[in-house]
C-alpha cells in the first residue's frame, strides 16, 4: 500500500456501512469529506470505541512509539509482525476501523513515470480497513492501517494491500473484548479477498498531493480489471 487513499463520502455513510444501531459521537462533522487524495501525516476519519461508546474522530495517519525518534512514523503495519514486534506493542490493543472509498498504487509500466491505479470495492461500498493507534487526545496520537500480502491479480498492482474487513467483522474488531491472538487471527485470515475489489489506471495528477477532485478517480480507460 503506497500511501494515498480517498475519503470523499460523509461520515454518516461510513457509519451506516457498519450497521450499528447506536448513537455515535461525531467529532468529524456532517459534511461530505470530499477528499480524493489523502496523504500520510494528515488527519483521517476513523471509527472506534472507548468507554463511552462508538465515536468518529479525525486522527493523524502515521504513528511511532516515543522512543523511535530516528525514523519517520510508519503509516502501515504488516499483519505478520504487528501483534508481536516491539514497535507496535503499545497500540496493538487499541483497535479502530479506517473507512475509505479506495486507495492508490503506482506501477512501473515502462513509462517516464509510474502509472497510478485506483483500487476500490466492486460493490461500491466503503472499504473498512483494520487499524490500530494511539487515541489519548494528545499530540502523539496517530494510527496505522494493517496490511497483508496481495492476492490474485492485485499482485500485479502492488505486493501489499490493506486488511479490509466485512461489516460484521469490522464491528467485532472495534467492539468485542477479544484476546490479542484472536484479533491477530482475524487480521491474518479473514480480510476480504481480491475478488471483492476492482482496479484501473487513473491520471498521474494524483501524484501531486495538492490535486483534489473526483477527476482523480476517473478511469483512463473504460475497462476496470
In whole angstroms, what is the distance from residue 97 CA to residue 129 CA?
5
218 burial via Cβ count (<10 Å: 0-12, 13-18, 19+): exposed
Nearest residue to 28 (alpha-carbon basis) of 17, 49, 14: 14
Report the alpha-carbon distance of residue 127 to residue 108 in Å, rounded: 25
Q: What is the DSSP string of 12-25?
A: HHHHHHHT--S--E
Give phi and psi for 39, each to the nearest 5: -105, 160
Calpha distance 122→224 (Å, rounded): 10
Spatial separation of the C-alpha atoms in residues 82 and 104, rounded to whole Å: 23
Annotated active-site positions, please? 2, 105
Please tell me whether residue 93 adopts helix, strand or coil conformation: coil
10 Å CB burial of residue 151 (0-12, 13-18, 19+) is middle
Q: Cβ distance 45 to 61 under 8 Å?
A: no
State the alpha helices, DSSP H only, in 127-179: 167-175
Amino acid at each position: 500500500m503506497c500511501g494515498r487513499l480517498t475519503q470523499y463520502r460523509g461520515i454518516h455513510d461510513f457509519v451506516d456501512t457498519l450497521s450499528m444501531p447506536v448513537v455515535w459521537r461525531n467529532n468529524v462533522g456532517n459534511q461530505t469529506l470530499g477528499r480524493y487524495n489523502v496523504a500520510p501525516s494528515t488527519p483521517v476519519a476513523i471509527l472506534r470505541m472507548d468507554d463511552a461508546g462508538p465515536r468518529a474522530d479525525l486522527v493523524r495517519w502515521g504513528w511511532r512509539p516515543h522512543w523511535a525518534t530516528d525514523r519517520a512514523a510508519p503509516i502501515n503495519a504488516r499483519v505478520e509482525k504487528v501483534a508481536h514486534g516491539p514497535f507496535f506493542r503499545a497500540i496493538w490493543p487499541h483497535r479502530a476501523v479506517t473507512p475509505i472509498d479506495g486507495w492508490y498504487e503506482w506501477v512501473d509500466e515502462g513509462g517516464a513515470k509510474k502509472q497510478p491505479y485506483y483500487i476500490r470495492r466492486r460493490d461500491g461500498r466503503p472499504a473498512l480497513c483494520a487499524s490500530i493507534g494511539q487515541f489519548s487526545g494528545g499530540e502523539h496520537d496517530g494510527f496505522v492501517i494493517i496490511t497483508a500480502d496481495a492476492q490474485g491479480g492485485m499482485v500485479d498492482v502492488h505486493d501489499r494491500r490493506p486488511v479490509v474487513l466485512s461489516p460484521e467483522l469490522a464491528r467485532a474488531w472495534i467492539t468485542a473484548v477479544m484476546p490479542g491472538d484472536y484479533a491477530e487471527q482475524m487480521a491474518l485470515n479473514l480480510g476480504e479477498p481480491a475478488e471483492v475489489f476492482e482496479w484501473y489506471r487513473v491520471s498521474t495528477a494524483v501524484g501531486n498531493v495538492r490535486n483534489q477532485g473526483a477527476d482523480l478517480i476517473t478511469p483512463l480507460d473504460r475497462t476496470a480489471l
